[in-house]
Protein backbone atom coordinates (compact mmCIF):
# COMPACT_ATOMS: atom_id res chain seq x y z
CA UNK A 1 0.00 0.00 0.00
CA UNK A 2 1.01 3.62 -0.40
CA UNK A 3 0.61 6.58 1.94
CA UNK A 4 -0.61 9.79 0.31
CA UNK A 5 -0.61 13.13 2.12
CA UNK A 6 -2.98 15.92 1.08
CA UNK A 7 -5.15 13.50 -0.90
CA UNK A 8 -8.34 15.49 -0.31
CA UNK A 9 -6.98 18.57 -2.10
CA UNK A 10 -7.06 19.35 -5.80
CA UNK A 11 -4.11 17.34 -7.16
CA UNK A 12 -4.01 14.81 -4.31
CA UNK A 13 -7.65 13.80 -4.84
CA UNK A 14 -7.12 13.51 -8.59
CA UNK A 15 -4.07 11.36 -7.84
CA UNK A 16 -5.96 9.02 -5.48
CA UNK A 17 -8.84 8.65 -7.99
CA UNK A 18 -6.38 8.08 -10.83
CA UNK A 19 -4.29 5.60 -8.82
CA UNK A 20 -7.28 3.47 -7.86
CA UNK A 21 -8.56 3.53 -11.44
CA UNK A 22 -5.38 1.84 -12.67
CA UNK A 23 -4.30 -0.21 -9.63
CA UNK A 24 -5.76 -2.17 -6.75
CA UNK A 25 -2.94 -1.18 -4.42
CA UNK A 26 -4.64 0.47 -1.41
CA UNK A 27 -4.07 4.08 -0.40
CA UNK A 28 -3.89 5.52 3.10
CA UNK A 29 -4.83 9.17 2.66
CA UNK A 30 -3.65 11.56 5.41
CA UNK A 31 -5.20 15.00 5.13
CA UNK A 32 -5.95 17.69 7.72
CA UNK A 33 -8.98 18.93 5.76
CA UNK A 34 -7.98 22.58 5.80
CA UNK A 35 -10.14 25.00 3.79
CA UNK A 36 -8.60 23.38 0.65
CA UNK A 37 -9.31 19.76 1.60
CA UNK A 38 -12.71 18.43 0.55
CA UNK A 39 -14.01 14.90 1.03
CA UNK A 40 -16.56 15.56 -1.72
CA UNK A 41 -13.62 15.19 -4.14
CA UNK A 42 -13.42 11.54 -3.04
CA UNK A 43 -17.15 10.81 -2.88
CA UNK A 44 -16.89 8.19 -5.63
CA UNK A 45 -14.64 6.12 -3.32
CA UNK A 46 -17.22 5.88 -0.53
CA UNK A 47 -17.23 2.30 0.78
CA UNK A 48 -14.19 1.33 -1.31
CA UNK A 49 -11.91 -0.71 1.01
CA UNK A 50 -8.86 0.31 -1.06
CA UNK A 51 -9.13 3.87 0.28
CA UNK A 52 -8.44 4.53 3.97
CA UNK A 53 -8.95 8.17 4.89
CA UNK A 54 -7.29 9.57 8.02
CA UNK A 55 -7.99 13.14 9.08
CA UNK A 56 -4.80 14.48 10.64
CA UNK A 57 -1.87 16.85 10.45
CA UNK A 58 1.44 16.00 8.78
CA UNK A 59 3.15 17.91 11.62
CA UNK A 60 1.81 15.32 14.11
CA UNK A 61 4.80 12.99 14.47
CA UNK A 62 3.01 10.49 16.70
CA UNK A 63 0.19 10.08 14.19
CA UNK A 64 2.55 9.75 11.22
CA UNK A 65 4.67 7.16 13.11
CA UNK A 66 1.50 5.21 13.89
CA UNK A 67 0.42 5.21 10.23
CA UNK A 68 3.82 3.89 9.14
CA UNK A 69 3.77 1.17 11.82
CA UNK A 70 0.15 0.11 11.15
CA UNK A 71 0.13 0.14 7.36
CA UNK A 72 3.80 -0.44 6.42
CA UNK A 73 3.48 1.59 3.19
CA UNK A 74 6.05 0.83 0.50
CA UNK A 75 5.98 4.48 -0.58
CA UNK A 76 4.77 7.90 0.45
CA UNK A 77 3.54 10.48 -2.05
CA UNK A 78 3.62 13.87 -0.35
CA UNK A 79 1.16 16.47 -1.67
CA UNK A 80 0.01 18.11 1.58
CA UNK A 81 0.87 21.79 1.57
CA UNK A 82 -0.44 25.29 1.81
CA UNK A 83 -0.51 25.98 -1.92
CA UNK A 84 -1.92 29.42 -2.73
CA UNK A 85 0.58 32.24 -3.39
CA UNK A 86 -1.95 35.01 -2.54
CA UNK A 87 -2.73 33.40 0.83
CA UNK A 88 1.00 33.14 1.54
CA UNK A 89 1.28 36.91 1.09
CA UNK A 90 -1.52 37.55 3.59
CA UNK A 91 -0.40 34.89 6.11
CA UNK A 92 2.96 33.18 5.60
CA UNK A 93 3.04 31.40 8.99
CA UNK A 94 0.90 28.43 7.96
CA UNK A 95 3.13 27.95 4.89
CA UNK A 96 6.28 27.61 6.96
CA UNK A 97 4.54 25.32 9.42
CA UNK A 98 3.00 22.87 6.94
CA UNK A 99 5.40 23.07 4.01
CA UNK A 100 8.65 23.16 5.99
CA UNK A 101 7.94 21.62 9.41
CA UNK A 102 5.39 19.20 7.98
CA UNK A 103 7.82 17.91 5.36
CA UNK A 104 10.53 17.64 8.03
CA UNK A 105 8.17 15.58 10.23
CA UNK A 106 7.33 13.23 7.35
CA UNK A 107 10.99 12.81 6.41
CA UNK A 108 11.94 11.90 9.97
CA UNK A 109 9.04 9.47 10.35
CA UNK A 110 9.81 7.93 6.94
CA UNK A 111 13.48 7.60 7.86
CA UNK A 112 12.60 5.82 11.13
CA UNK A 113 10.35 3.40 9.24
CA UNK A 114 12.86 2.88 6.42
CA UNK A 115 15.68 2.08 8.87
CA UNK A 116 13.56 -0.71 10.34
CA UNK A 117 13.13 -2.48 6.96
CA UNK A 118 15.06 -5.47 5.60
CA UNK A 119 17.48 -4.72 2.72
CA UNK A 120 14.94 -5.52 -0.05
CA UNK A 121 12.24 -3.37 1.57
CA UNK A 122 14.77 -0.58 2.07
CA UNK A 123 15.77 -0.63 -1.60
CA UNK A 124 12.14 -0.65 -2.79
CA UNK A 125 10.93 2.15 -0.48
CA UNK A 126 10.26 5.61 -1.96
CA UNK A 127 9.53 9.06 -0.55
CA UNK A 128 8.11 11.08 -3.41
CA UNK A 129 7.93 14.83 -2.82
CA UNK A 130 5.53 16.86 -4.96
CA UNK A 131 6.94 20.31 -5.60
CA UNK A 132 6.53 23.25 -7.91
CA UNK A 133 8.26 25.17 -10.69
CA UNK A 134 7.89 28.35 -8.59
CA UNK A 135 11.03 27.45 -6.61
CA UNK A 136 13.11 28.40 -9.68
CA UNK A 137 11.91 32.04 -9.68
CA UNK A 138 10.85 34.20 -12.60
CA UNK A 139 12.05 33.90 -16.23
CA UNK A 140 12.80 36.71 -18.66
CA UNK A 141 10.87 36.64 -21.96
CA UNK A 142 13.61 34.84 -23.91
CA UNK A 143 15.24 32.81 -21.14
CA UNK A 144 15.29 29.02 -21.56
CA UNK A 145 12.66 27.01 -19.70
CA UNK A 146 13.50 25.67 -16.21
CA UNK A 147 15.65 22.55 -16.29
CA UNK A 148 16.39 20.48 -13.18
CA UNK A 149 19.74 22.26 -12.76
CA UNK A 150 18.28 25.79 -12.71
CA UNK A 151 19.28 27.72 -9.56
CA UNK A 152 16.61 28.15 -6.90
CA UNK A 153 15.31 31.74 -6.71
CA UNK A 154 11.97 31.57 -4.88
CA UNK A 155 10.18 34.93 -4.66
CA UNK A 156 7.02 34.41 -2.60
CA UNK A 157 6.53 33.04 0.92
CA UNK A 158 4.85 30.04 -0.74
CA UNK A 159 7.69 29.29 -3.14
CA UNK A 160 10.30 29.92 -0.44
CA UNK A 161 8.60 27.39 1.84
CA UNK A 162 8.43 24.83 -1.00
CA UNK A 163 12.09 25.50 -1.83
CA UNK A 164 12.98 24.85 1.82
CA UNK A 165 11.07 21.57 1.72
CA UNK A 166 12.86 20.53 -1.50
CA UNK A 167 16.21 21.16 0.20
CA UNK A 168 15.23 19.06 3.21
CA UNK A 169 14.20 16.19 0.91
CA UNK A 170 17.48 16.41 -0.97
CA UNK A 171 19.48 16.44 2.27
CA UNK A 172 17.67 13.40 3.70
CA UNK A 173 18.84 11.48 0.64
CA UNK A 174 22.38 12.82 0.60
CA UNK A 175 22.98 12.44 4.34
CA UNK A 176 20.87 9.45 5.37
CA UNK A 177 20.39 7.64 2.05
CA UNK A 178 16.57 7.86 2.22
CA UNK A 179 15.34 6.90 -1.30
CA UNK A 180 13.61 10.13 -2.27
CA UNK A 181 12.42 11.52 -5.59
CA UNK A 182 11.11 15.04 -6.25
CA UNK A 183 8.97 16.39 -9.07
CA UNK A 184 8.72 20.12 -9.80
CA UNK A 185 5.57 20.74 -11.77
CA UNK A 186 4.02 23.72 -13.54
CA UNK A 187 0.47 25.07 -13.07
CA UNK A 188 -2.18 22.34 -12.99
CA UNK A 189 -5.83 22.75 -13.97
CA UNK A 190 -8.81 20.39 -14.22
CA UNK A 191 -11.62 18.91 -12.07
CA UNK A 192 -11.79 19.69 -8.30
CA UNK A 193 -9.57 22.79 -8.64
CA UNK A 194 -10.42 25.05 -5.69
CA UNK A 195 -12.14 28.20 -6.99
CA UNK A 196 -9.63 30.67 -5.56
CA UNK A 197 -7.06 29.79 -8.28
CA UNK A 198 -7.14 31.54 -11.66
CA UNK A 199 -9.03 29.09 -13.89
CA UNK A 200 -11.83 27.91 -11.55
CA UNK A 201 -12.18 31.45 -10.10
CA UNK A 202 -12.75 32.91 -13.56
CA UNK A 203 -15.32 30.21 -14.43
CA UNK A 204 -17.19 30.67 -11.13
CA UNK A 205 -17.18 34.48 -11.36
CA UNK A 206 -18.25 34.48 -15.01
CA UNK A 207 -21.21 32.19 -14.30
CA UNK A 208 -22.19 34.44 -11.39
CA UNK A 209 -21.92 37.58 -13.57
CA UNK A 210 -19.10 38.92 -11.35
CA UNK A 211 -15.93 40.77 -12.47
CA UNK A 212 -13.04 38.63 -13.75
CA UNK A 213 -10.07 40.12 -11.81
CA UNK A 214 -6.90 40.07 -13.93
CA UNK A 215 -3.80 41.07 -11.93
CA UNK A 216 -1.59 43.83 -13.38
CA UNK A 217 -1.37 43.79 -17.18
CA UNK A 218 -2.37 40.10 -17.50
CA UNK A 219 0.81 39.35 -19.46
CA UNK A 220 2.30 37.01 -16.82
CA UNK A 221 3.00 33.61 -18.33
CA UNK A 222 2.28 30.22 -16.78
CA UNK A 223 2.86 26.75 -18.27
CA UNK A 224 -0.39 24.78 -17.92
CA UNK A 225 -0.73 21.02 -17.39
CA UNK A 226 -3.98 19.03 -17.16
CA UNK A 227 -4.06 17.49 -13.68
CA UNK A 228 -4.32 13.83 -14.74
CA UNK A 229 -1.10 14.30 -16.72
CA UNK A 230 0.59 15.37 -13.49
CA UNK A 231 -0.81 12.21 -11.85
CA UNK A 232 0.61 9.98 -14.59
CA UNK A 233 3.98 11.74 -14.28
CA UNK A 234 4.08 10.99 -10.55
CA UNK A 235 3.15 7.35 -11.21
CA UNK A 236 6.03 7.15 -13.70
CA UNK A 237 8.51 8.62 -11.21
CA UNK A 238 7.32 6.25 -8.50
CA UNK A 239 7.66 3.24 -10.79
CA UNK A 240 10.84 4.08 -12.66
CA UNK A 241 12.49 7.15 -11.11
CA UNK A 242 15.99 7.02 -9.65
CA UNK A 243 16.38 7.81 -5.93
CA UNK A 244 17.93 11.24 -5.38
CA UNK A 245 16.75 12.53 -8.77
CA UNK A 246 14.53 15.51 -9.58
CA UNK A 247 12.08 15.50 -12.50
CA UNK A 248 10.52 18.65 -13.95
CA UNK A 249 6.96 18.15 -15.18
CA UNK A 250 5.14 20.51 -17.54
CA UNK A 251 2.72 20.64 -20.40
CA UNK A 252 4.64 22.69 -23.00
CA UNK A 253 1.75 25.16 -22.77
CA UNK A 254 3.04 28.64 -22.00
CA UNK A 255 0.17 31.13 -22.03
CA UNK A 256 -0.27 34.70 -20.77
CA UNK A 257 -3.01 34.97 -18.14
CA UNK A 258 -5.16 37.27 -20.26
CA UNK A 259 -5.20 34.66 -23.04
CA UNK A 260 -6.41 32.04 -20.54
CA UNK A 261 -9.22 34.33 -19.44
CA UNK A 262 -10.26 35.04 -23.05
CA UNK A 263 -10.22 31.29 -23.82
CA UNK A 264 -12.46 30.60 -20.82
CA UNK A 265 -14.86 33.35 -21.86
CA UNK A 266 -15.05 31.97 -25.42
CA UNK A 267 -15.73 28.42 -24.18
CA UNK A 268 -18.42 29.64 -21.81
CA UNK A 269 -19.94 31.76 -24.62
CA UNK A 270 -20.19 28.56 -26.64
CA UNK A 271 -21.31 26.12 -23.92
CA UNK A 272 -23.47 28.38 -21.72
CA UNK A 273 -24.21 31.63 -23.55
CA UNK A 274 -25.23 34.58 -21.37
CA UNK A 275 -28.13 36.62 -22.82
CA UNK A 276 -26.38 39.74 -21.40
CA UNK A 277 -23.48 39.28 -23.87
CA UNK A 278 -20.02 37.72 -24.03
CA UNK A 279 -18.46 36.89 -20.67
CA UNK A 280 -15.41 38.87 -21.76
CA UNK A 281 -17.35 42.03 -20.87
CA UNK A 282 -16.63 41.09 -17.21
CA UNK A 283 -12.81 41.25 -17.55
CA UNK A 284 -11.47 43.78 -15.04
CA UNK A 285 -7.81 44.71 -14.53
CA UNK A 286 -6.94 45.01 -10.82
CA UNK A 287 -3.85 45.87 -8.76
CA UNK A 288 -1.06 43.37 -9.31
CA UNK A 289 0.02 40.65 -6.87
CA UNK A 290 3.06 41.90 -4.88
CA UNK A 291 6.28 40.33 -6.18
CA UNK A 292 4.34 38.70 -9.03
CA UNK A 293 6.59 36.33 -11.03
CA UNK A 294 6.46 37.25 -14.71
CA UNK A 295 7.03 33.93 -16.43
CA UNK A 296 7.36 30.22 -15.65
CA UNK A 297 8.17 27.54 -18.22
CA UNK A 298 9.19 23.93 -17.71
CA UNK A 299 11.70 21.99 -19.74
CA UNK A 300 10.20 18.49 -19.40
CA UNK A 301 12.73 16.68 -21.58
CA UNK A 302 14.39 14.72 -18.75
CA UNK A 303 11.23 12.92 -17.63
CA UNK A 304 10.39 12.14 -21.25
CA UNK A 305 13.89 10.87 -22.05
CA UNK A 306 14.43 8.86 -18.87
CA UNK A 307 10.93 7.71 -17.93
CA UNK A 308 9.05 7.93 -21.24
CA UNK A 309 6.42 10.34 -19.87
CA UNK A 310 4.59 12.88 -22.02
CA UNK A 311 1.31 14.69 -21.36
CA UNK A 312 -1.75 13.08 -22.96
CA UNK A 313 -3.82 16.29 -23.13
CA UNK A 314 -3.20 19.38 -25.19
CA UNK A 315 -4.27 22.69 -23.67
CA UNK A 316 -7.22 22.81 -26.08
CA UNK A 317 -8.59 19.38 -25.06
CA UNK A 318 -7.85 19.87 -21.35
CA UNK A 319 -9.42 23.30 -20.99
CA UNK A 320 -12.58 22.23 -22.83
CA UNK A 321 -12.93 19.21 -20.49
CA UNK A 322 -12.35 21.48 -17.51
CA UNK A 323 -15.03 24.02 -18.44
CA UNK A 324 -17.47 21.18 -19.18
CA UNK A 325 -16.67 19.62 -15.76
CA UNK A 326 -17.41 22.87 -13.93
CA UNK A 327 -20.67 23.31 -15.81
CA UNK A 328 -21.98 19.91 -14.71
CA UNK A 329 -20.52 20.17 -11.19
CA UNK A 330 -22.01 23.49 -10.12
CA UNK A 331 -23.22 21.85 -6.88
CA UNK A 332 -19.58 21.06 -5.94
CA UNK A 333 -18.65 24.71 -6.53
CA UNK A 334 -21.75 25.90 -4.70
CA UNK A 335 -20.80 24.02 -1.51
CA UNK A 336 -17.39 25.73 -1.48
CA UNK A 337 -18.68 29.26 -1.97
CA UNK A 338 -19.50 29.35 1.75
CA UNK A 339 -18.95 32.02 4.39
CA UNK A 340 -15.25 31.16 4.76
CA UNK A 341 -14.68 31.44 1.01
CA UNK A 342 -16.40 34.84 0.93
CA UNK A 343 -14.09 36.06 3.71
CA UNK A 344 -11.08 35.13 1.55
CA UNK A 345 -12.54 36.96 -1.46
CA UNK A 346 -12.95 40.10 0.70
CA UNK A 347 -9.38 39.78 2.05
CA UNK A 348 -7.80 39.37 -1.38
CA UNK A 349 -9.91 41.56 -3.67
CA UNK A 350 -11.67 44.28 -1.64
CA UNK A 351 -8.65 46.63 -1.51
CA UNK A 352 -7.43 46.04 -5.09
Looking at residues 203 to 232 of the shown chain, list those that interact with ligand DAU (rule: CB under 6 A): 213-215, 220, 222
3, 4, 8, 160: which one binds ligand NAD (CB under 6 A): 8
Q: Which does 253 bind (CB under 5 to 8 A by kind): ligand DAU, ligand NAD, none?
A: none
Q: Which does 303 bind (CB under 5 to 8 A by kind): ligand DAU, ligand NAD, none?
A: none
Decide: is 29 part of the binding site for ligand NAD (CB under 6 A). Answer: no
Q: Given the rule CB under 6 A, which of 3-11, 115-123, 231-239, 330-338 is the region that contacts ligand NAD?
A: 3-11
Pick the catalytic residue from 18, 31, 57, 158.
158
DSSP lists the bridge partners of residue 31 as: 55
Q: Is 158 a catalytic residue?
A: yes
Per-residue 3-state assignment (H helix, E strand, C coil) for 70-128: HHCCCEEEECCCCCCHHHHHHCCHHHHHHHHHHHHHHHHHHHHHHHCCCHHHHHHCEEE
* Strand-by-strand arrangement of the 2-5 sheet: 51-55, 27-31, 2-5, 75-78, 126-132, 180-185, 246-249
User: C-alpha 8: how far from its chain's center?
Assistant: 11
Decide: is 263 part of the binding site for ligand DAU (CB under 6 A). Answer: no
Report in angstroms how near the CB of residue 183 gets to ligand NAD at its nearest.
8
Q: Is 134 a catalytic residue?
A: yes
Report in angstroms how near the CB of residue 50 gets to ligand DAU at its nearest.
27
Binding stretches for ligand DAU (CB under 6 A): 83-85, 132-134, 186-187, 197-198, 201, 213-215, 220, 222, 257, 289, 296
Amino acid sequence: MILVTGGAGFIGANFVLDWLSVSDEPVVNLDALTYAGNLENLASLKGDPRHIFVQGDICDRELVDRLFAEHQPRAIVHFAAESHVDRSIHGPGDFVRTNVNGTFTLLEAARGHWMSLEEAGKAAFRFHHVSTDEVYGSLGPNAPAFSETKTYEPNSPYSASKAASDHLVRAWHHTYGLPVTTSNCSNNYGPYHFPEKLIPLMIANALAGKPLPVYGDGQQIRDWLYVTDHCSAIRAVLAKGTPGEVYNVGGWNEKPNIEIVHTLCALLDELKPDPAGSYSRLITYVTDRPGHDRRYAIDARKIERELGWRPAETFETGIRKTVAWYLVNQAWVGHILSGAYREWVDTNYAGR
